[in-house]
Amino acid sequence: MGVFTPPWLLPLTSDPTLAIRREIDLIEFLDRLGYDEAWIGEHHSGGMEIIGSPELIVAAAAERTRRIRLGTGVISLPFHHPLTVADRIVQLDHQTRGRAMFGFGPGLLPGDAHMFGVPARQQRARMAESLDIVIRLLDGGTVTRQAGPHTLRDARLQLGPYTRPRPELAVASAVTPSGGRLAGRYGIGMLCLAAATGPGYSVLDVNWANALAAAEEHGQVMDRSALRLVAPFHLAPTRDQAIREVEAGFRRWARHADRVIEGGTATVGYADFESFLGSDGVTVGTPADAVAALARYWDKSGGFGAILNQITHFADDEAGRRSHLLLIDQVMPAFTAHCAPRLASHDWSAAHRTTWFGDTFKAAEAEIRRHLDGGRASGNPPESETGPGIGTT
């Protein structure tokens, strides 16, 4: 179980310093709860997703946590020189002693691409080219190459990875087949960022099949444990309470999205709050609703390694943290059958209760009789005649 935080930080008038600190505090909290992973996004425009360097959050959170793994979700490769990306990966791999993971993508926001001067039609091609270079560098290669605007001349890393053969890598996959095919080409993980949207949900199995086909073509092997699905969950004791807790936050986000996304929230599959609640990929409800949703995801995808709860901050911090607790305490054990041995032991004990306790009571009665009979045989008065009596306290 993990989280994916773009993050969506609203309102736009809230203090950005506190907002960044809140994301790090949340990761600390999730580490204490026992969450396995946290992935942090990279964005440069729009005013809502204000983390420009997920690597900095990973570095800060790593010093404040003990076991949770920390990922970049994602590094937008067309915006960076591939040599510096590889250098940052290796350094974080050492700083975290192998707890860092690295996701890559072409860049999501059109405003970001515009500012970096990357034409939309070139984003995926540049991402693929940079990924190839980064992997070659991590594997100890030397690269001389012109990659878009970036020149590499006898480029090589001066420090090898802490994790052998290399840190865990993943590629963002949304709706198009490019992400899955790129993951398969190198045999690395997939981050299905749009799993909760209608179009993204519908192609979960298709894009995994694309990855498998590409892996076979390039002599790689895909591992389902490296398939991660991103979807929003907000839980409360009752469904009505969960809905009340997220409605105002959703509408605030929708007003922002309608201003900066062409087509507004409908572009990502949520025309309004009602369609958000009715989406197959969105869970706003009880732990039982979440267990059912995970089963649907499992059936649709054919199996996955992790579900990443998309942090929306639609609810306030208190309700959000309670939701995270419900997910890890009541949903995941039911979905993974983690408590099956406990339940089996309980049922086994209940089934033999009458026999076992009957034998125990008989043994206790026999011991009492033996004690009393022994006292009379020795000429000593039974304890009941000299003291409080057996069975009293």
* More reliable by pLDDT, 213 or 108: 213
Judge contact between 9 and 304, C-beta under 8 A: no
Q: Is the peptide bond before 341 cis (omega within 30 degrees of 0)?
A: no
Tell whether the model's pLDDT for residue 387 goes beyond 50. Answer: no
The whole-number pLDDT of residue 13 equals 92
- Give the Å distances, CA to CA, from 32 to 62, 68, 169, 187, 333: 13, 9, 25, 32, 17
Q: Per-residue pLDDT averaged across 151-158, rounded?
A: 98
* CA distance linking residue 163 with residue 338, whole number of Å: 29
The whole-number pLDDT of residue 393 equals 39
Q: Per-residue pLDDT averaged across 307-316, rounded?
A: 95
The partner residues of 39 in beta bridges, in order of sequence, read 4, 71
132: left (phi over 0), alpha (psi -120 to 50) or beta: alpha
Predicted confidence band at 391 (pLDDT cuts at 50, 70, 90)?
Answer: very low
The whole-number pLDDT of residue 378 equals 55
The whole-number pLDDT of residue 381 equals 55
Predicted confidence band at 5 (pLDDT cuts at 50, 70, 90)?
Answer: very high
Predicted confidence band at 389 (pLDDT cuts at 50, 70, 90)?
Answer: very low
The whole-number pLDDT of residue 390 equals 42
Nearest 5 degrees, angle CA 258-CA 126-CA 177? 65
Q: Per-residue pLDDT averaged across 24-47, rounded?
A: 97
Q: What is the pLDDT of residues 313-323, one digit of tens each?
A: 999 999 999 99
The whole-number pLDDT of residue 280 equals 81
* More reliable by pLDDT, 383 or 201: 201
pTM for this prediction: 0.90
The whole-number pLDDT of residue 301 equals 94
The whole-number pLDDT of residue 260 equals 84
- Give the Å distances, CA to CA, from 190 to 6, 37, 104: 17, 14, 10
Q: Per-residue pLDDT averaged across 194-219, rounded?
A: 93
Predicted confidence band at 375 (pLDDT cuts at 50, 70, 90)?
Answer: low
Q: Per-residue pLDDT averaged across 23-52, rounded?
A: 96
The whole-number pLDDT of residue 281 equals 86
Residue type, 184: G
Tell whether the model's pLDDT for residue 386 goes beyond 50. Answer: no
Predicted confidence band at 199 (pLDDT cuts at 50, 70, 90)?
Answer: confident
Q: What is the pLDDT of residues 272-283, one digit of tens each?
A: 899 899 888 899
In the chain, pLDDT over 70 holds for what percent of residues? 95
Tell whether the model's pLDDT for residue 250 goes beyond 90. Answer: yes
Tell whether the model's pLDDT for residue 118 goes beyond 80. Answer: yes
Least confident of 48-52, 122-126, 206-210, 374-378: 374-378
Q: What is the pLDDT of residues 119-154, one digit of tens each?
A: 999 999 999 999 999 999 999 999 999 999 999 999
* CA distance linking residue 62 with residue 97, whole number of Å: 9
Backbone φ and ψ for 203, nearest 5 degrees, come out as -110, 15
Judge contact between 198 and 266, C-beta under 8 A: no
* CA distance linking residue 196 with residue 114, whole number of Å: 27
- Give the Å distances, CA to CA, from 199 to 150, 176, 206, 342: 34, 10, 11, 40
The whole-number pLDDT of residue 376 equals 63
Q: Is the peptide bond before 381 cis (omega within 30 degrees of 0)?
A: no
Predicted confidence band at 54 (pLDDT cuts at 50, 70, 90)?
Answer: very high
Predicted confidence band at 382 (pLDDT cuts at 50, 70, 90)?
Answer: low
